[in-house]
Amino acid sequence: MVTAVLPVPLLTRWGLSPDADLVFRTLTMFGPQTASMLERDLGISRHRVERALSDLDDAGAAKPTVQNGPDERRWRARSREDTMRMLYRWRHRRPVPETLLNEPYRPLRGLELGDGLRHWPSREAARERLAELVAVARHTAVSMNPEATFDPASLRAAAPMDRELQSRGVQLRVVGVTRGDPDLLLPYGGLPKEVFETYRQADTVPMKLVIVDRRVALFPVEPGDLDRGYLEVSQEPVVESLAASYDQHWAAAHDLSETLMPAFDLSPREEAVVALLTLGHTDAGVARELRISERSVSNILRSMMDRLGVDNRFQLGVALGTLQIAPVPPGMPAVRRVAREERVAREERVAREERVAVEERVALEEHVAVEERVAREERVAVEERVAREERVAPEERVAREERVAPEERVAVEENEKGNGESK
């Protein structure tokens, strides 16, 4: 099921830099930000950020909000429709070449110019006539577009006609010079699949041309100024010649699948990593859930960043959100609040671990001190006992000798007396 979220226009196709496109997408998805916030989150230099913001301001795609100081100025992106209108004006603000301005021109006022030839004096009149032809088309409706960009009014008029042709089974084909954008007509009621099935890209095309059922052709009176009106031709030889020329350009043009960026497909493991990170898991949490190492998680993310050509995880998130591979976070304030809460929790955890480590170290030191005191006391006690024993031993020996000496003397005398009597 396709969500109703409008696609973010690709600004590089309007002549803006990749940095400007990246900054615009970030502002669109995450809301107003300062240059410092963009510098930190996107991981690009302050000079590149300020140059991108200047380009966006010049093109009218973004503008600064009211500020209290140079460091507090926040930039916000315009809405998609306003952005496309401003980009069209910016892209076409260059003056018309003087050769076109000096060319003579006589309005034909919608007159019939002859058999099978009619002039529609304005672009709006030509659109109304094209809508009439589309309403009765039965087989084919083909067009050739030399424009690099389209104004919102043209897109708004083209989307319902293309949808009507598709619904009636009329074959629709378009050759243009821009890279086909499948979501270009989506905000105006078009179907994204139509571009993939009906669009081809050429390096150049000779003119703007619409042919309906190979019997009526419309093309501008003056290629350099579409507001001067269109010519409608229904003369069969002329229409057949124009149709043959169109067929040649269609055959030489590139299929959309050859010119679009290759599809960015995720492996099941990459999908699991992106899903868990989107839910707020850390690398450690992802590794624990998937039973892989944190190094494997980092390698998976690095591989995706390399394939998308981005430099950091924030840019990876923007790219995945733009490609609608991963859901876009619900706004920068919520993201920053969660990040702040995670940072506070991390700091509290570190402080708690440091406090526990200090307490454990103090307890260990106290335990060691107690053991050392006990050992010292035991050693002193042993030394005192040994010293006491050494001091007491001579005294006891003398006393023992003094006590034993009379007894031994009496025994000797008795022994000697007994020996004398026996003699």
HEC sequence for 101-122 = HCCCCCCCCCCEEECCEEEECC
Position 192 pLDDT exceeds 70 = no
Position 47 pLDDT exceeds 60 = yes
pLDDT of 263 reads 58
Alpha-carbon span 48 to 311, nearest angstrom:
14
Give the CA count within 13 Å in the CB-facing half-sphere of 393: 6
Model confidence over 305-345: pLDDT tens digits?
A: 888 777 888 888 877 776 666 554 444 344 445 445 666 77
Q: Reduced to 3 states, what is the DSSP secondary structure of residue 173?
A: strand
pLDDT of 322 reads 66
Give the CA count within 13 Å in the CB-facing half-sphere of 164: 15
Overall average pLDDT of the 346-351 stretch: 82
Under CATH, which architecture does the 103-259 domain have?
A: 2-Layer Sandwich (3.30)
Q: Are 45 and 51 in contact (CB under 8 A)?
A: no
Q: Which residue has the tokens 């050739």?
A: 144
- Rounded to 5°, the CA angle 22-56-15 comes to 75
Q: Which residue has the tokens 């990170």?
A: 277
User: Token digits for 276?
Assistant: 């868990």
Alpha-carbon span 419 to 189, nearest angstrom:
148
Q: Which of 108-112, 210-214, 242-246, 412-416 has the lowest mean pLDDT?
A: 108-112
Please state the pTM of the whole predicted model. Answer: 0.43
Alpha-carbon span 97 to 95, nearest angstrom:
6
Q: Which of 235-239, 325-329, 355-359 has the lowest mean pLDDT?
A: 325-329
Question: What band does 189 get if pLDDT is binned at 50, 70 and 90?
Answer: low
pLDDT of 109 reads 46
Position 1 pLDDT exceeds 80 = no
Alpha-carbon span 189 to 183, nearest angstrom:
10
Q: Are 12 and 18 in contact (CB under 8 A)?
A: yes
Beta-carbon contacts of 101 under 8 Å, excluding residues fewer than 6 positions away, are none
On average, the pLDDT of the chain sits at 76
What are the domain boundaries of the chain? 11-91, 103-259, 268-329
CATH code assigned to 11-91: 1.10.10.10
Alpha-carbon span 47 to 44, nearest angstrom:
8
Backbone angles phi and psi of 140, in degrees to 5: -135, 155
Identical fold between 103-259 and 268-329:
no
Position 294 pLDDT exceeds 50 = yes
CATH code assigned to 268-329: 1.10.10.10
